Chains A and B, each alone.
Chain A
């Protein structure tokens, strides 16, 4: 169907542009937030001068991301002498691509009815509706973990093919750390799967628009508060950011597994890291923070506690859902940056001990308790 294709292309364009914009803007957010947290001003010198005038647009340093990208593109693409050429060249892409692919199953809005939204197209689209999600897979969450696991391969390939001791150490560290925390990430969401009875992220988001205990929005974070904390911690560790940045610890390993990468190849690693912040934000939003909906909001409007129904125009709902999703993702990203600039780095034995001796038992206990309660309530 040509209509499906149009909508699909539209969604993919939206998703990719949102991710790329997030990746760029988050570098700015990280700089500025870190600066404001520590009583500084932050990067504010890059500007764009309007040609033939002396008007310099500084915009609170927003152009520093642009300057960084330009610098990385124009730098010499230096390659180490002896390396596995193919693996060396492909490693950044193996890190970068799955990060983008994960977003395919994340719903970024409710159901779109193009015919109702644009009356001129109602004849062409008839009554077709499209959930705002690129791939409506029944195995949504499994796809997330399948693609998320691929970044490990990229990090290890990069460490191995650089023929550098620091890179190799970083790659090994990345491998063991990411596999450990991947496990915990998986275990924490199983509790949610038990409660929602589905692994489809769209269905999960729709189920979170209800009411819990008469006054709370039925968000995952209220069902599974421990799982939410554990998931976010494991996700930050998965993304190899401080306090879990052992694979690229500057003071020990220069830059870890991407020591030997320069120019845009190194930029791809960094970009993937920043996009992954946004992906983690999107996943956390979808799983625990009610997805694209405001509290008590459905595709038709609001159903407030006490069954007060407020119906909204379809166009308003679509815009609100898109904006709310972006706002929630940005909020979670901001929290991750807060964590990154507050906590000191773990020691390596502490890192793995934290995963296997502290978080794994907690995740298992959470899962067991959830399973028992779900079983008891289901009887």
Chain B
């Protein structure tokens, strides 16, 4: 005689679903569910018809969210000196460290500005490839590039429209940049200012 096989015992889970007779009757809970979804529908319809917004979603890109986290790495800005020129000295460190190789800088020479003769003529970032890692910010010796929580207006029908240049990167607003204040003027700047 073969070994006695154990009869199958159905496993009882510690959190087995238990339903009261009320839930088992199905119809009442169904009606309750319909009341919930219908209530949400009516509430949202009431909001829409009274001129408010009855949805949690945002029209992107027509609408921009205001509740981005303070630490969100949305887009880059180039910080500026008091005279509005970029802090950037076109040293190419950010372009070198960039893992996605999206930063293109063309350096220029300005003999009139004795303290900062080297400046970026062209500073462009390809947002179709940028991975928003923030390494460029860490690499910058001049604190010239930062990331802010707002996102750029990217949607475009062509990938060549997803480059942001100096005109858009130089929209830094030091008054609103509370996390990091305006970079302290270096001794060269002071020397130039007093001169």
Q: How far is the CB of B152 from chain A (nearest CB, A)?
A: 21
Please tell me the size bucket of the interface on B: 10 to 19
Contacts of A35 in B (CB 8 A): 55
Is B55's CB under 8 angstroms from A39's CB?
Answer: yes
Complex Cα distance, B69 from A52, in Å, reads 43
Bitwise, A20-42 to B at CB < 8 A (1) or not (0) is 00000000000001011111110
Is B57's CB under 8 angstroms from A343's CB?
Answer: no
Complex Cα distance, B34 from A341, in Å, reads 9
Say yes or no: is B40 at the interface (Cβ < 8 Å to chain A): yes
Is B41's CB under 8 angstroms from A33's CB?
Answer: yes
Q: How far is the CB of B110 from chain A (nearest CB, A)?
A: 42
Complex Cα distance, B41 from A341, in Å, reads 11
Say yes or no: is A339 at the interface (Cβ < 8 Å to chain B): yes
Say yes or no: is B30 at the interface (Cβ < 8 Å to chain A): yes
Q: How far is the CB of B48 from chain A (nearest CB, A)?
A: 7
Please tell me the size bucket of the interface on A: 10 to 19
Contacts of B99 in A (CB 8 A): none
Complex Cα distance, B54 from A36, in Å, reads 7
Bitwise, B134-165 to A at CB < 8 A (1) or not (0) is 00000000000000000000000000000000
Is B30's CB under 8 angstroms from A343's CB?
Answer: yes
Complex Cα distance, B54 from A338, in Å, reads 17
Say yes or no: is B44 at the interface (Cβ < 8 Å to chain A): yes
Is A339's CB under 8 angstroms from B54's CB?
Answer: no
Is B56's CB under 8 angstroms from A39's CB?
Answer: yes
Complex Cα distance, B40 from A33, in Å, reads 11
Contacts of B38 in A (CB 8 A): 37, 338, 342
CB contact under 8 A between A41 and B40, given known A339-B34, A342-B33, A343-B30: no
Name the contact of A39 in the complex, choosing from B30, B33, B36, B40 (C-beta under 8 A). Answer: B40
Q: Which 3 A-B pairs have the closest CB atoms?
A: A342-B37, A37-B41, A39-B56
**Given A36-B55, A338-B38, 10 other A-B residues pairs in contact with their CB atoms under 8 A:** A36-B54, A37-B40, A38-B40, A39-B55, A39-B56, A39-B57, A41-B57, A338-B34, A338-B37, A342-B34
